[in-house]
Structure 1
């Protein structure tokens, strides 16, 4: 069971990657490198759980500097005009002993849409390097580029409308 408390994302042990089909062939993978999030949980009042995350859109990274600049530009993430990608959970519920679902609002490029995130709780332990408790999660989310106006040519044979987002996250206890 998830322990109660105030938790802050450990950005050194977190990744947010996204995948989109390229020409209907391979899944092209990229990541965001600058992420922050907070989680508040009390097992006695699970309906009051809060999860908020902010990703810096300019931190998109593909391993190709030129393409990263294109993705930061106005036709894709428009990072200068919309610097943050924001997720705010509106409802989190358990679906099993170590699984759950977070319904929430995702804002990209100034467009806010409801999304669903499937979550797996990996457990927790004492992180002696940080001298405090840590917990870990994995999560998956599907979004459509067209819902947020991400990229030209929607729909396109070049890049799929469907984007698969994978989150691996560790949180450290705040209190």
Structure 2
């Protein structure tokens, strides 16, 4: 079942709400969320936790590089893409962070992007799901994120969408590190992504740190080349 932003608004007790949900025929186009949106890296975050040393937990962050989304005229999220920088892996432990960025784990020098791309939101068993592909170390795998509708907000008139989503990611399936009793195989990931309407974001670049697709190079090891055929309205993602 394909989800629309209005349906998400209803599911979250109006916390994810468009200020102009009752549109009239002469309503300004800026009151509709339809169109292209760009992610604001300075307002986004990726945080994660993983079991470490048996019962202890390690927590850390990854910086968001850029992203984009496309919303259809029926308020359907048609496409979503978010790119994360593995070279910014940070748990506050310099030795561990250097090791994880290195060849045995994320290999950020060879694969400088972790990418998630997806198509339409769908209704899942526990809420709204974002099914897509996660590309880590050049390998694309199916991955879904669950939208936290209670924390997410939409203000089409102001040109701002804030999405909070969570996922459990298997690092072994992504080819990140060898199996070990000291480090758990699964990461609990939470993403905060703030999208600005592209017409507004274009004017804000240089002041807010917003970057579009054309501002980011596509290195040979990014995972875009040689990982399968392109899907309509989808790029391939990557993540850790």
TM-score (norm 1): 0.85
The alpha carbon displacement at 1:8 in A equals 0.9
Point out the more displaced range, 84-93 or 102-111: 84-93
SS of the residue 1:68 aligns to: helix
Q: 2:116 & 2:52 partners in 1: Cα distance?
A: 26
Greater fraction strand: 1
Where in structure 1 are there 5+ consecutive unaligned residues? none
Q: What is the aligned partner in structure 2 of residue 105 from structure 1?
A: 133
SS of the residue 1:61 aligns to: coil
Q: What is the aligned partner in structure 1 of residue 167 from structure 2?
A: 141
Q: What is the aligned partner in structure 2 of residue 173 from structure 1?
A: 197
Q: Are positions 1:24 and 2:54 aligned together?
A: yes
Q: What is the aligned partner in structure 2 of residue 38 from structure 1?
A: 68
Residue deviations 1:22-57 (CA, integer Å, cap 9, x gap): 1231321111124211011125162x6100111121
The alpha carbon displacement at 1:170 in A equals 1.2
Q: What is the aligned partner in structure 1 of residue 29 from structure 2?
A: none
Q: 2:153 & 2:109 partners in 1: Cα distance?
A: 37
Where in structure 2 are there 5+ consecutive unaligned residues? 1-5, 7-17, 19-32, 200-240
Q: What is the aligned partner in structure 1 of residue 144 from structure 2?
A: 116
SS of the residue 2:153 aligns to: strand
Query: 4+ residue runs of structure 1 moved beyond 6 angstroms?
Result: none
Larger Rg: 2
Q: 2:130 & 2:166 partners in 1: Cα distance?
A: 10
The alpha carbon displacement at 1:73 in A equals 0.2
Match of 1:4 among 31, 34, 47: 34
SS of the residue 2:98 aligns to: helix
Q: How many pairs align?
A: 166
Contact 1:120 1:138 in 2 (8 A): yes
C-alpha distance 26-4 of structure 1, shift in aligned 2 (>3 A): farther
Kindly report the root-mean-square deviation, in angstroms, between the aligned alpha carbons of the 2 structures: 2.2
Residue deviations 1:52-105 (CA, integer Å, cap 9, x gap): 111121111112222221111001101111111111104422459xx5211111
